[in-house]
Every structure is written in C-alpha cells, then in structure tokens.
Structure 1
Amino acid sequence: MMRKQFLLLLAALAVPAALLLAGEAEGASHYEAIAGRSTDFVPRVFNFLIFAALVYYLVADPIRNFFKERREKIAEQLSEIERRLQEAKEAKKSAEKALAESEKKAQEILEDGKKEAELLVQRYRELGERELAALEAQYEERMETEERRMVRESIVALLDENISVDDIPLTASQVVDTLAKKVA
C-alpha cells in the first residue's frame, strides 16, 4: 500500500517536471505554438490541484488518525481529571464530616470534663468539710482535755500549797470551800 502511494507521488512529481524541462529546452515559442497561448498558468494550477489531491490522499488518513488519537487521549485525561476531582470532593466532604464529628466529640469531652471537675470539686469540698469538722471536734476534745488537765494541776498545786501534813484533819467541806476560793 505504501509502495503504491510512493509510486503515485513520484509519478505526480516526475511528469510535470519532465514537461517543464522539455518546454525550457525548446523555448517559449514552442509552448505558444502547441498550447496556443503565451502563459502556462492554467496547466500549472491543474498540476497543483493534482498534487494537492495526491498529498491529501496520502496524508489525510494519518493526520486524521493522529488527531483522533489525540482527541481520545485528551478525553481520557479529562475524564481522569474529573474522576480525581470527584474523589477530591468526596474526600473533602468526608474530612469535613470527620471534622464536624471531632468538634462535636471535643465539645462533649469538654462538657464531660467540666462536669467531672465540678464533681471532684464538690467531693473534695465535702471531704474537706468533713476533715475540718473532725479537726474542730478533735480541737474541742483536746481543749476540754487540756482544760481538765489544767484544772487537775491547779487542784494538785492548790492542795500542795494549802494542805500540809498538819492540816490533815480537815473535813470535806473545808476542802471544798478552799478549792472554791482558789478556783474563783
């Protein structure tokens, strides 16, 4: 097929070239005698049309195939780009949804943390109040104990100062009166 096309192209170029060379050798007057006119414009246009038709016949299919393949490749690339764009949009929607869920979960965690902190504050406050009450009770007991100890020490000191061995025959009412005076 290619060989046939090559031969046609060669013939299309060789025949007009041979005619032109033959005309040059004989001169312009011979052409006028044969053709009946002084210019060869019409035959040259006819030759050019034949040449253009042959070139079209030989080159049209490869050019058409090239552009067809190019158009298909571009269409494939465009569909691939559209597919990727759609995937990117879906990924974006998915990421936005995950972000919204994360924000919601973070808000829930924050609220839970606040509630837990309030419970801990209340718990430690109650614990502190109980410990404070226990410390106050312990303080009161210690104060009473110290007060009793001091009273005992005062009584012992008073008895040691006021009662001697000579005063042993004292009666209970005398001891009570003496103690009452000392305490008051």
Structure 2
Amino acid sequence: MKKLALFALLLLPAILLASGHESGEVSRYFTQTGRESDFWPRVINFTIFALILYYLVANPIKNFFKDRREGIAGQLKEIESKLQAAKDEKREAQARLEESANKAAEIIEDAKLEAKILAEKIADASVNELEVLEKQFAEKTALEERKAAREVIDEVLSENITTDDITLDESKIVDIISKKVA
C-alpha cells in the first residue's frame, strides 16, 4: 500500500508538469501560475523523487554495505586467525628445530664417546692379540730351536757314531734291560 502511494506521489507531479512547451504556452503558463519559469516546481519534484528513491533504495543499500562490511570483517578475522595459527605453527616448528638440533648434538657426542670406547676396545684387543701372537711366536721359536737342536744332534750322532763304535756284550745288555724294567 505504501509503495502504491509513493508511486502515485512520484507519478502525479510528472503528469501535472508534462505539458508541452510551445512559444505560445509560456504566456499561458505565466497566466496560470504567475511565474515565468517552472524551475522551483521542478526542484520540488526532483526533491520528492529523490526522497522517494531514498525511501525505497536506502535500506537495501544500507543492508548491502552493512553485509559487505560484516563480510569483510569476518574475512579479516579469519585471515587474522590463520595468521595467528601460522605464527603458532612457526613457533612450534622453531621449537622442534631447536629440539632436533639439541638431539643431534647429543647424538654426535654419544657417537664420539662410542667411537672412543670402541677405539679403546679395539686397541686393547689388538694389544692382547699381539701379546698372544708374541707368545705363540716365542713358543714356536723355542719349539723350532729344540727341533733344530735335535736334528743337529741326530745328524752329528748319526754321522760320527756308528753301531760299530759301540760294543755291547751280553752282560751290558742284561744290565740295561734290568735297569729299564726296574
């Protein structure tokens, strides 16, 4: 109903002022209205039109800009929350990075200690093995010396003493056997 009344108010001045202007009409307008121009009625008509237009369009435009402002504010809040989340993630990542660096330093120190311990164990094992090898060498050398001495003695005895050099009679053989048995 309001819209119909507003439409009528908008249309009525247009109908009233929609008369044609001919050269003879200006004098009739002056006789009818007492004015030479229709400037002020047109200003009033435009003002009425602007008010009606404002009445019809103002709320939708206000709502549009209000919704737009709220949408932008919502997007800004969302962006700020994402930015804060990114900053938090960055802090967490830096903390993890520092923790990883500390762990890496600990691992390196542990590896150095393990390497040192392993080197000491290897050195001890090498020393022990060298001692064993030296003992084996000494034993083998002693064995070879005894073996060489026996061979030399056997060779000397076999070359120098023959069975003809030893005279055995029965009484000596019986004495040797009886000593062996007893």
**Into which bin does the TM-score normalised by the smaller protein fall?**
0.7 to 0.9
Over the residues paired in the alignment, what is the CA RMSD in angstroms? 1.6
Aligned to 2:10: 13
Aligned to 1:90: 88
2:164 maps to a residue whose letter is: D
* Structure 1 segments unaligned to the other structure (5+ residues): 170-184
Aligned to 1:27: 25
Asked if residue 106 in structure 1 is aligned to residue 104 in structure 2, the reply is: yes
* TM-superposed deviation, 1:24: 4.3
1:19 maps to a residue whose letter is: L
Distance in 1 (CA, whole Å) between partners of 2:46 and 2:18 is 17
1:71-99 deviation digits (Å, cap 9, x = unpaired) = 11111111111111111111110010001
Question: Normalised by the size of structure 2, how large is the TM-score?
Answer: 0.85
Aligned to 1:60: 58
Q: Which moved more, 1:107-116 or 1:7-16?
A: 7-16
* TM-superposed deviation, 1:35: 2.0
* TM-superposed deviation, 1:132: 0.8
Aligned to 2:138: 140
Distance in 2 (CA, whole Å) between partners of 1:112 and 1:91 is 31
Distance in 2 (CA, whole Å) between partners of 1:47 and 1:155 is 154
Q: Which runs of 4+ in 1 moved over 4 A?
A: 23-26
Instruction: Compare the two structures and name the one with the higher helix fraction.
Output: 1
Give % identity. Answer: 50
2:113 maps to a residue whose letter is: K
Aligned to 2:180: none
Distance in 2 (CA, whole Å) between partners of 1:21 and 1:85 is 62
Question: Normalised by the size of structure 1, how large is the TM-score?
Answer: 0.85
